[in-house]
C-alpha cells in the first residue's frame, strides 16, 4: 500500500480555481465534481511543471467509494511525480464498467442511472479545464473492469484521448456467454443487473462497448493491452491461497480476450502492443504494467 499526502479541495469549481495547481510529490488533491449522477470524488496529482496533459486511470469492478485503488494499491503517484502530466483518478463506479447505463440497476435499489461515459468525456474534462487541464491531450488506462472501458472510451472519443491501455481487461465482452459471466460477477459485486446496463446480449450496446469490435475506431491510436497468463508468482503470496485461485481464474479469461484482441488487430492491420506476462489478476502486476506503459504515455502526450 502506498502512503500519500492528501490535500482536500471539496466543492471547488473551475471558476474559483487557479490556472495552475500543485500537489506535493507523491501526493494528491481531492476534488468534488458535479455530475448527473451526483457529486463525484476525483483524486488528482497535478502535472509537475504546470503542463496541461492528463492521464486518466480507471479502477476495477470493486472500485471503492472513497478512493481510487491506483492511489493505495500501486505506486502510480510516485511513478509520475516528476512528470509534466496530471494524473486523474475518478473514485467510485462500482460494477459500472464506466459506461452510460440504460437505467438504474433494478436488483439493488440504485437511485440514479450510471452515466460514467458522460462523466469521463464531458463533465469531468469540462471541470478540469478550469484548472488548466486539456480536454484533448489525454491518455486513459484501466485495470480489469476499467481496461475494456479505457479502450472503448478512447475509440468513441478520439478527440480527447491520444493513448489507451488495458491491464487484464475483458476486452471482448461479446464473446459467447461472457455476458453471463459478467452477470454473475456484477450480482456478486453489489447485486447489479447487467441487463440494466446494456440490455440483452443482442443489444447493439454490447458491440459498442466491446474494444475488439471497435478496433477500426482505434486505428492510429497508440494502444497497450497486457494480461497475465494466470500463473501465480511471488506477488501473489501476500493475498493468500483463496484470493490467488480467484485471480488465476479471472486472468485465464482475460488472457483469452487479449488473444482475440491481438488476432483481430493483426487481421485488420491495426497497430497495438499486446503483452502476455507471468501473473494473475491483481494489483502488483498492474503496477508493473503501468511502469511499462509510462514511456508510451509520455511520448503520446508529448511530455516529460
Residues recognised as catalytic: 144, 251, 281
> Residue 86: which H helix or E strand, with range?
strand 86-90
d(CA 108, CA 154): 30
* Residue 143, burial from CB neighbour count under 10 angstroms (0-12, 13-18, 19+): buried
d(CA 265, CA 258): 10
Q: Show the CA angle centred on residue 256, arms to residues 251 and 259, nearest 5°.
A: 125
Distance set, CA 3 to CA 32, 59, 71, 72, 74 (Å)? 21, 18, 8, 7, 10
Could you tell me if residue 97 is left (phi over 0), alpha (psi between -120 and 50 degrees) or otherwise beta?
A: left
Pairing of strands 40-45, 28-33: antiparallel
Amino acid at each position: 500500500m502506498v502512503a500519500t499526502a492528501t490535500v482536500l479541495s471539496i466543492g471547488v469549481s473551475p471558476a474559483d480555481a487557479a490556472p495552475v495547481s500543485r500537489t506535493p510529490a507523491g501526493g494528491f488533491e481531492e476534488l468534488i465534481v458535479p455530475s448527473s449522477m451526483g457529486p463525484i470524488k476525483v483524486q488528482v496529482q497535478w502535472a509537475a511543471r504546470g503542463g496541461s496533459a492528463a492521464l486518466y486511470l480507471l479502477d476495477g469492478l470493486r472500485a471503492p467509494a472513497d478512493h481510487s485503488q491506483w492511489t493505495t494499491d500501486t505506486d502510480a503517484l510516485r511513478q509520475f511525480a516528476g512528470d509534466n502530466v496530471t494524473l486523474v483518478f475518478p473514485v467510485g463506479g462500482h460494477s459500472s464498467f464506466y459506461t452510460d447505463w440504460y437505467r438504474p440497476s433494478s436488483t439493488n435499489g440504485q437511485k440514479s442511472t450510471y452515466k460514467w461515459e458522460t462523466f469521463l468525456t464531458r463533465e469531468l474534462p469540462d471541470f478540469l479545464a478550469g484548472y488548466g487541464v486539456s480536454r484533448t491531450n489525454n491518455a486513459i488506462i484501466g485495470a480489469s473492469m476499467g481496461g475494456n472501458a479505457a479502450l472503448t472510451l478512447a475509440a468513441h472519443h478520439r478527440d480527447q484521448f491520444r493513448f489507451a491501455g488495458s491491464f487484464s481487461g475483458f476486452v471482448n465482452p461479446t464473446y459467447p456467454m461472457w455476458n453471463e459471466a459478467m452477470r454473475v460477477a456484477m450480482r456478486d459485486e453489489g447485486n447489479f443487473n447487467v441487463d440494466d446496463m446494456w440490455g440483452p446480449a443482442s443489444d447493439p450496446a454490447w458491440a459498442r462497448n466491446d474494444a475488439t469490435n471497435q478496433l477500426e475506431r482505434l486505428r492510429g491510436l497508440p494502444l497497450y493491452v497486457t494480461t497475465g497468463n494466470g500463473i501465480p508468482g511471488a506477488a501473489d503470496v501476500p493475498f493468500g491461497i483463496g484470493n490467488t485461485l480467484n485471480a488465476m481464474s479471472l486472468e485465464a479469461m482475460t488472457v483469452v480476450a487479449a488473444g482475440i484482441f491481438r488476432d483481430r488487430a493483426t487481421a485488420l492491420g491495426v497497430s497495438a502492443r499486446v503483452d502476455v506476462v507471468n501473473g494473475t489478476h491483481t494489483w502488483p502486476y498492474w503496477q508493473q504494467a503501468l511502469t511499462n506503459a509510462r514511456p508510451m504515455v509520455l511520448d503520446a502526450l508529448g511530455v516529460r
